[in-house]
Amino acid sequence: MHEQAKLAEYSTPYWWEAAPVRPVASQQLAKRVDVAIVGAGYAGLTAGLTLARAGRAVAVFDAMNPGEGASSRNGGITSGSIRPGPAAIARRFGEATALAIEAEGKTAREYLYDFIRTEGLDCDFRLTGEFKGALGYDQYETMARSADMLAKRLGIESYAVPHTEQQSYIGTGFYRGGTVRMDIGGLHPAKFHAELLRVALNAGVVVHAQTPVTAVDRAGPDFSVATGAGIVLARQVLVCTNGYTDGAAPYLQRRLVPVRSRIIATEVLPPDLMARLMPRRMMMRENRQLGFYYRPSPDGTRILLGGRDSSRVGDPVAPTQRLRNGLMQLFPELENVRLSHSWFGNVAMNRDMLPRIFERDGILYASGFCGSGVVWAPWLGSRAAHKLMGHEAEARTAFDFRPPAAVPLYRGTAWFMPAIIQGYALQDRFAMWRARR
């Protein structure tokens, strides 16, 4: 194969082989709609579907092809996790909010699984469970207590796996035990998006691909939404642009920092090796700030491993090497294995690392999924739709509160990210040293 073509294939998401992102059939722009949605990822499409099924005229706009943002690039792990732990959330927002957020993770996962089942979405979903590795024995003890609490408080099947039993979950000697929770699984993210798109289109959602929204302004009782295809009037506007937010949503742009996340895929591995390294085909993660998430491909033939990509200009060499080193640290026997893919996408962080629905000047926003949007984006997209329709009970969520704080001195260039990443790397080194003393 020509070098250029090989490179393009290498840097294209593995997921696009089975479910390539593509434009949808173009449709004429309506003069007026009930709701205009910016962004056709999981959040925008779920919102659109919910609204269309309730009889609203909905137009969804995407600057790229639908799904070309994070929703077809991610790891497909239905983690639904929240970065700050319950104690940190309680300190900042109160005990009641912390408990509500923890419980909502369970509801949101169940919503996703039920949605996949009832709509018959063909997206390779399996409720495999997730193993989280501990760096040291102290960390293991803390994690074991959390697993126990999760089981007692929320009735989630969740338990500790001591170091001596670890090999039946993961073929590595790197961890000092870990915990398992059985309410997390894996899906094929691009297939899931393609299926969501199919269902949304069937429900009457009009999706305009490669049609950026450039501005949203008040026009009497309506909003005037300027798009690459012309102007549309909308009674309501919902912004679901997450890690791809641009100047069309300046209020959100100052509050969300896009951060690159990268995934590498190995070439096809021998079945006996896969069975040794990932005997239960679980989703995997660990407890480092710059830690890795990893999983078998849905067909169980290769390993996909993801983590932070701190490059600023998109040079894939250094971040790919960092992930490869991580893979070797876990599975030294993969030393000579070749990688077939290495790609990245944007996740969106806000200052308190909590996803949000919030309203500002009449525009509704659903975003800030902080790298855990497979569960949260469909959930909060659907809650946002109910909020627009005034369905109080269905719209209720612990994530509907004040907008995230603006990031100081930030206008779209995350100049501070390299320093933050370095800080995280130092914290990880210190945590590792303490864990292995």
Ligand X SMILES: Cc1cc2nc3c(=O)[nH]c(=O)nc-3n(C[C@H](O)[C@H](O)[C@H](O)COP(=O)(O)OP(=O)(O)OC[C@H]3O[C@@H](n4cnc5c(N)ncnc54)[C@H](O)[C@@H]3O)c2cc1C
Of residues 34-53, which lie at the interface with ligand X (CB under 6 A)?
Answer: 38-44
- Selected from 34, 68, 104, 195, the binder of ligand X by CB under 6 A is 68
User: Nearest approach, Cβ of 361 to ligand X (angstroms)?
Assistant: 17
Q: Which is nearer to ligand X, 171 or 250 (CB)?
A: 250
Asked whether the beta carbons of 436 and 136 are under 8 A apart, the reply is: yes
Q: List the beta bridge partners of residue 180.
A: 131, 159
Q: Interacting stretch for ligand X, rule CB under 6 A, among 3-11, 23-31, 47-55, 343-351?
A: 343-351
> Does 76 engage in binding with ligand X (CB under 6 A)?
yes
Residues 419, 260: Cα–Cα separation, whole Å = 15
Using CB under 6 A as the binding rule, whether residue 297 contacts ligand X is answered as no
Q: Which residue number has the CB closest to ligand X?
A: 373
Verify binding: residue 414, ligand X, rule CB under 6 A: no
Q: Of the candidates 69, 133, 178, 326, which one interacts with ligand X according to CB under 6 A?
A: 69
Amino acid at 298: P
Cα separation, 56 vs 388, whole angstroms: 10
353-386 per-residue burial string, b: 16 or more CB within 10 A, e: under 16: bbbbbbeeeebbbbbbbbbbbbbbbbbbbbbbbb
Q: Contact with ligand X (CB under 6 A): which of 37, 112, 305, 377?
A: 377
Q: Does residue 79 interact with ligand X by CB under 6 A?
A: yes
Which of these, 382, 347, 351, lies nearest to 93 by C-alpha position? Answer: 351
For the record, the structure tokens of 119 come out as 């709509």
* Helix/strand/coil for 433: helix
Give 44 or 136: the residue with its C-beta nearer to ligand X.
44
Q: CB of residue 244 vs ligand X: minimum separation in angstroms? A: 4
- C-alpha distances (whole Å) from 191 to each of 128, 129, 200, 298, 337 are 18, 20, 14, 11, 27
| Site stretch for ligand X (CB under 6 A), options 199-207, 269-277, 324-332, 371-379 | 371-379
Q: Kindly tell me which of 16 and 369 has the beta carbon lying closer to ligand X.
A: 369
Q: Tell me which residues in 248-267 interact with ligand X (CB under 6 A).
A: 248, 261, 263
- Estimate to the nearest angstrom the gap between the alpha carbon of 48 and the chain centroid: 19
- 180 vs 384 by CB, closer to ligand X: 384
Residue 243 makes contact with ligand X by CB under 6 A: yes
184 scored as a contact of ligand X (CB under 6 A) = no
| Residue 306 contacts ligand X per CB under 6 A | yes
216: exposed, middle or buried (Cβ count in 10 Å: 0-12, 13-18, 19+): buried
Candidates 26-34, 173-181, 368-376, 405-413; binding stretch for ligand X (CB under 6 A):
368-376
Coil, strand or helix: which one is 137? helix
Exactly one of 49, 147, 156, 347 binds ligand X (CB under 6 A); that residue is 347
| C-beta of 78 vs 136, nearer to ligand X | 78
Closer to ligand X by Cβ: residue 176 or 208: 208
Least distance to ligand X, CB of residue 239, Å: 8
Short-list 437, 428, 436, CA closest to 173: 436
**Of 297 and 372, which has the nearer Cβ to ligand X?**
372
Find the shortest distance in angstroms from Cβ 66 to ligand X: 7
The answer to whether 365 and 38 are in contact (CB under 8 A) is: no
**Residues contacting ligand X: total by CB under 6 A:** 47
Residue 298 phi/psi, 5-degree rounding, is -55, -30
Stretch that binds ligand X, among 15-23, 104-112, 162-170, 237-245 (CB under 6 A): 237-245
DSSP class per residue in 164-211: GGGGGT-S-SSSS-EEEETT--B--HHHHHHHHHHHHHHTT-EEETT-
Ranges assigned E (strand) in 298-383: 303-308, 339-349, 356-360, 363-367
Strands 230-239 and 32-38 come out as: parallel
Q: Which of 14, 61, 140, 292 binds ligand X (CB under 6 A)?
A: 61
Q: Which of the ranges 296-304, 310-318, 366-374, 403-411 carries the binding residues for ligand X, by CB under 6 A?
A: 366-374
Sign for the pseudo-dihedral over CA of 261, 265, 266, 272: positive
Q: How far is the CB of 226 from ligand X (least distance, A)?
A: 10
Residue 158 binds ligand X (CB under 6 A): no
Which 392-411 positions form the footprint of ligand X (CB under 6 A)?
Answer: none
Distance of CA 332 to the CA centre of its chain: 28
334 sits near ligand X (criterion: CB under 6 A): no
Beta strands in 244-314 (DSSP E): 257-266, 283-286, 293-296, 303-308
List of residues contacting ligand X (CB under 6 A):
38-44, 61-64, 68-71, 73-77, 79, 212-213, 240-246, 248, 261, 263, 293, 306, 344-347, 367, 369, 371-375, 377
